[in-house]
């Protein structure tokens, strides 16, 4: 078995693009929808030659863009519904060390990392429910219906202390990002409770430190390529069942404390 359809947001680069390529390796997946804020400029994404790939314009910070994208997705998946939503799109506003964080910088991160995810997910919920209803068993899996949020180790409250490397925010440089990803985890867990009767999985994953534009911009020397992270993530996605619902995991399906 495999999911019939998958939507990945922020699919034009980094982990999102790597997830598109990795999912396409599974010939049993019928449709992969790649959302990008500016598809015309997404050269790497457009270079992928596979009839199962559909590229759509999707800016999760814009309600109008979300509404248009959802209508397009409805026509793509038809009566099969949307099987998997991967909420990958997000931002980190780079802060200069000891610079004062502004309301605008905080808002930008919450708009993409939290608010946009909520608005998009609720708009797509009927399609996820439709996909889930096609199954006649009580199983939870990505083959049925799932919401997967790409979070971060930095979201963990328990790990935010002076004894660990990633404690604190490095003089506010990561404060907005950490706070927004913690909020994203709360959104995920709330949805897991709300959607239990619909048998729709809701989970969060940290992809690990990857060599992406974001990590380069903040001066982090990441150990993983996006491709290595995507390969591990999808292996973990395929193992998900009801016991993982409402959980927070690293790319290898190891529990991260909230």
- Per-residue pLDDT at 171: 45
3-state secondary structure of 18: helix
Helix residue ranges per DSSP H, 111-212: 116-133, 175-194
- The tokens for 94 are 């780079």
- Tens of pLDDT, residues 195-219: 999 999 999 999 988 766 665 555 5
Asked whether the predicted pLDDT for residue 168 surpasses 70, the reply is no
Q: Mean pLDDT across the stretch 209-234?
A: 77
Asked whether the predicted pLDDT for residue 129 surpasses 80, the reply is yes
Q: How confident is the model at residue 175 (pLDDT cuts 50, 70, 90)?
A: confident
Q: Mean pLDDT across the stretch 154-168?
A: 74
Side by side, the strands of the sheet bearing 84-87 are: 53-57, 31-36, 5-8, 84-87, 146-150, 201-206, 248-250
Q: Mean pLDDT across the stretch 26-36?
A: 98
Question: What DSSP character marks residue 79?
Answer: G
Q: How confident is the model at residue 229 (pLDDT cuts 50, 70, 90)?
A: very high
pLDDT averaged over every residue in the chain: 91
Q: CA-to-CA distance for 146 and 192, rounded, in angstroms?
A: 10
Could you say which of 2.60.40.10, 3.40.50.300, 3.40.50.720, 1.20.1440.130 is the CATH number of the domain covering 5-250?
3.40.50.720
Asked whether the predicted pLDDT for residue 187 surpasses 70, the reply is yes
């Amino acid at each position: 078995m495999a999911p019939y359809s998958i939507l990945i947001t922020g699919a034009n680069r980094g982990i999102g693009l790597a997830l598109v390529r990795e999912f396409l390796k599974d010939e049993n997946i019928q449709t992969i929808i790649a959302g990008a804020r500016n598809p015309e400029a997404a050269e790497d994404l457009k270079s992928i030659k596979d009839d199962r790939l559909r590229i759509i314009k999707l800016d999760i910070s814009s309600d109008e863009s979300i509404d248009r994208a959802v209508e397009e997705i409805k026509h793509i998946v038809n009566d099969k519904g949307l099987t998997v939503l991967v909420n990958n799109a997000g931002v980190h506003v780079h802060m200069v060390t000891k610079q004062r964080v502004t309301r605008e910088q905080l808002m930008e991160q919450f708009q993409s990392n939290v608010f946009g995810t909520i608005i998009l997910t609720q708009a797509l919920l009927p399609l996820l429910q439709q996909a889930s209803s096609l199954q006649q068993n009580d199983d939870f899996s990505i083959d049925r219906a799932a919401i997967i949020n790409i979070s971060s180790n930095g979201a963990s409250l328990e790990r935010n202390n002076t004894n660990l490397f990633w404690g604190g925010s490095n003089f506010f440089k990561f404060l907005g990002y950490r706070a927004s990803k913690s909020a994203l985890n709360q959104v995920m867990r709330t949805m897991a409770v709300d959607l239990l009767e619909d048998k729709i999985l809701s989970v969060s994953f940290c992809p690990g430190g990857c060599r992406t534009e974001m990590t380069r911009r903040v001066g982090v020397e990441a150990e993983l390529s996006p491709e290595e992270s995507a390969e591990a993530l999808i292996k973990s996605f395929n193992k998900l069942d009801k016991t993982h619902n409402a959980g927070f995991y690293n790319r290898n399906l190891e529990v991260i404390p909230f």
